[in-house]
Copies of this chain bind each other. A is one copy, B any other.
C-alpha cells in the first residue's frame, strides 16, 4: 500500500526475530556459549555468573530458538507424521486418533498431520519424506508400497507404522481387523437362528475402507457356519445413505427382501434403520433382528435396546509407546499386533 513499506520491509514491530547471535552480543559472550547454556550441555563447564547473563539476555530479547535450523543441524527431528484421511469417521475412531496425538505430544513428539489428497502411494511418500519425520503412522488412507516404505526409511524415518487391512513388509503393521467385527456380529445372528442376513454398506464415500472388510467378515461367518448344524445362511449387502429418506426406502421394500436379520455396519446406521423398520410395521427383534457396532451409549436408549458389537480398541497410548520404542531402537522387531478386539453385546434387538 504505502510505498514506505517498500523501503523498509523489516519493520514489523520489534523488528526482526532475535537469533542466538543477538543474545551472544547482548550478553558479551560467544554464540557457542549461548548454545551451551541454553541447552544445559553438561560436557562443557560454564560459570554460574555467565549462565545468568546469558539467560537474562535471552529473556530480555525474547529469544526463541528456530526449530528448523536446530533439526537441520542435528540431522533429525522429533516429528511424527500422521497422514490422515478426510473421512467422516465415527466417534470411536476419532477418540482413538485424538488419544494417539495426545500421547505422542506427551512423549515430546511434534505431531504433524499431512494430507495426500489424491496422490499415488509413491508420490505421497515423497511428499512425506520432505519433512524428514522420525516416524510415520499411516492410517490406511493410502496403501503404502514397499518402495514407499524404503524411501521413507532412507529419509530418516526410524519407524513406519501402518494401520490397515493388509501387512506391509518392513513396517510395524497394526492389523485393524474390521472383518472380525462383521464376523462376530453375523455369527451371533446365525447362532440365534437367523438365516437370511442383510449387511448395511454405507454409501458414504471414504467409508469403504471400513465397510468392505466388515461385509467380507460377514460372508466368512456365513460360509463357515454352512458346515455345522446351522447350514444355508446367506448374506445380502444393503447400500444405505445416512438419512431418513434412504432408510425409509429400504424399509419399504423390506418384506420382498425376505431378511430375518441385519448387521448395520454401525450403531448409528443401526438406529436409523431400526426406526425405519418399526415405522414400516416390521417388528424388532421378532421379525427382524438388528445388530450395530461401536456400543454407543445412545443405542441403549431406543426400545428395544440395540444389540451391538463392542470394540476394544488399542489405546492411543499403547500405540504411542510403540512408536516411541521403535524410534529409540530402530531395530525393534516389526511386531504385528491386532489393533482391535470385538465381542457381541446382546441386548434386546437380536
Q: Which residues of A contact B (CB under 8 A)?
A: 1, 12-14, 17, 62, 64-69, 71-72, 77, 84, 86, 88, 91, 94-95, 98, 101-102, 105-106, 110-115, 117, 126, 129-132, 150-151, 153-156, 242-244, 268, 271-272, 275, 297-298, 300-302, 331
Contacts and interface: CB of A to CB of B under 8 A. Distances in A.
A71 to B, nearest CB: 6
Contacts of A94: 94
A324 B94 CA distance: 27
Contacts of A12: 153-154
Contacts of A302: 301-302
5 contacts: A62-B151, A72-B72, A111-B114, A111-B115, A242-B297
Contacts of A98: 86, 88
Contacts of A301: 271-272, 275, 302
A105 B115 CA distance: 6
A88 B117 CA distance: 27
B102 A86 contact: yes
Contacts of A64: 126, 129-130, 151, 155
Copies in the complex: 2
Given A13-B150, A150-B13, A69 B67 contact: no
Contacts of A112: 110-113
A131 B67 CA distance: 5
Given A112-B113, A126-B64, A14 B154 contact: yes
Given A111-B114, A132-B66, A155 B297 contact: no
Given A131-B67, A132-B67, A151-B64, A101 B113 contact: yes
Contacts of A113: 101, 111-113
Contacts of A91: 91
Contacts of A117: 105-106
A65 B132 CA distance: 9
A66 B130 CA distance: 5
Contacts of A72: 66, 68-69, 72
* CB-CB nearest 4 A-B residue pairs: A105-B115, A68-B68, A275-B301, A67-B130
A12 B151 CA distance: 11
A228 B67 CA distance: 59
Nearest to A244: B300
A153 to B, nearest CB: 7
Contacts of A297: 242-244, 268, 272
Given A68-B71, A110-B114, A117-B106, A154 B17 contact: yes
